[in-house]
Structure 1
Amino acid sequence: MITISAAALGAVLVAAPVSDAFAERHWDKRTKCEETDPDGRVIPTRYGNGDLGWNHFSGKHNIKKCRVVDAALAGKVDKKNGGRLEYHGVALNGRKRVNIVVIVQYARRTADGEYDAGKGKKIGVITAYCKGVTKCPNWINE
């Protein structure tokens, strides 16, 4: 058996694939809902995946209607840290009341760099939840 080295053949060596630590995570960038806040920020709620966006919070936190998220976004920003915005709202149903928190990444990329919305676009809503409980009550989706 004859062995020929790659160098003898003039072969080009190809680098191994980049590790996942540097790769962008897969997520659905399509917009499910969109709201403009009082400061004129157009904020999308993207379908996302299990970690952020609609697919994350509609399952994990039981928010199934855009109007729940949009109602909080229609108010002023309650907390701001760079591109991370936090909006607070209240859902009412008769005497029932629950506080809603909506977290927005108003930047092209998430703070950890794992997600990129694309040139000229914003990540948007990364999560929404009812304060103090793991899952929002079903009545907020009525």
Structure 2
Amino acid sequence: MAADPAYKILKHLKYKGPGHASLRVGYYNSAKDKGFGWNKLKKKHNITKYGAVEYVAQSPNRDHIGGQSYREIAYAGKYKCRNGVCKLVKQYKVQLTVNEKKLRDGQDKGVITMYCTGVLKCPKWVSTTLAKLNRRSAASTDEQYQRSYRPLAPSTRTLTATAVPAEKAAPAHKPSLNTPVSSGAAE
């Protein structure tokens, strides 16, 4: 009998809990609002980068939520900048749920869901920001994006990096409690 393709592991994520967190293909059925794994993250919550999931999986904010399930929390924010000062205009608390139950393949069940608190679908910039540190908008040099394991400051100074498209920008500053994200393949 063939194995269920939903349980295929796409990536072993670095994880704050024991071992690694398995990111499985999963599934999402919108009619029943059921699912887990990568397909649920993408289809229901608009999480589109493996690196975003891995960043949150490494959060020091780890709470037991019942049984063998744990929740990690991180934050993504968008700043508008003017005259060298940036003001926070939008911040999302991003929650990741991981189940550590061991399955027949000897791996943990892994990532169940990840979402932005308060909205069904995260804006696209949330995934990009969590996956890569300190980005400015490609369309405008007056925007800056930050990620953190703590709520973001209401204002900050602008980065000195040249504005480049968010997908190609190099980190210019590393706020405290940020951990480097591995360059994951298959994003």
Q: Is the pair's TM-score, using the shorter chain for normalization, greater than 0.5?
A: yes
The whole-number CA distance in structure 1 between the counterparts of 2:99 and 2:67 is 9
Whether 2:39 is the aligned partner of 1:55: answer yes
- Give the match's secondary structure for 1:123: strand
Aligned equivalent of 1:42, options 11, 16, 20: 20
What TM-score, normalized by structure 2, do the two folds share?
A: 0.53
Q: Is the 8 A contact 1:79 1:87 kept in 2?
A: no
Q: Is the 8 A contact 1:68 1:91 kept in 2?
A: no
Q: Alpha carbon RMSD of aligned pairs, Å?
A: 2.0
Q: Is the 8 A contact 1:85 1:104 kept in 2?
A: yes
What TM-score, normalized by structure 1, do the two folds share?
A: 0.68
Aligned equivalent of 1:97, options 50, 74, 91: 91
Whether 2:52 is the aligned partner of 1:74: answer no
**After TM superposition, what 4+ stretches of structure 1 lie above 4 angstroms from structure 2?**
none
Q: Percent identity?
A: 27
Query: Are residues 61 and 39 of structure 1, via their aligned partners in 2, closer, same or farther at CA, if it must alter by over 3 Å?
Result: closer
Structure (1/2) with the larger strand percentage: 2
User: 1:53-92, CA deviations, whole angstroms, 9 ceiling, x for partnerless residues?
Assistant: 1111211001011122111111232234231111111123
Which residue is equivalent to 2:140? none
* Alpha-carbon offset, residue 34 of structure 1: 2.5
Which residue is equivalent to 1:138? 124
Mind listing any 5+ residue stretches in structure 2 that lack a counterpart? 29-34, 80-87, 129-187
The whole-number CA distance in structure 1 between the counterparts of 2:78 and 2:50 is 17
The whole-number CA distance in structure 1 between the counterparts of 2:39 and 2:14 is 21
Query: Are residues 34 and 91 of structure 1, via their aligned partners in 2, closer, same or farther at CA, if it must alter by over 3 Å?
Result: farther
Mind listing any 5+ residue stretches in structure 1 that lack a counterpart? 1-25, 109-116
Q: Is the 8 A contact 2:77 2:92 kept in 1?
A: yes
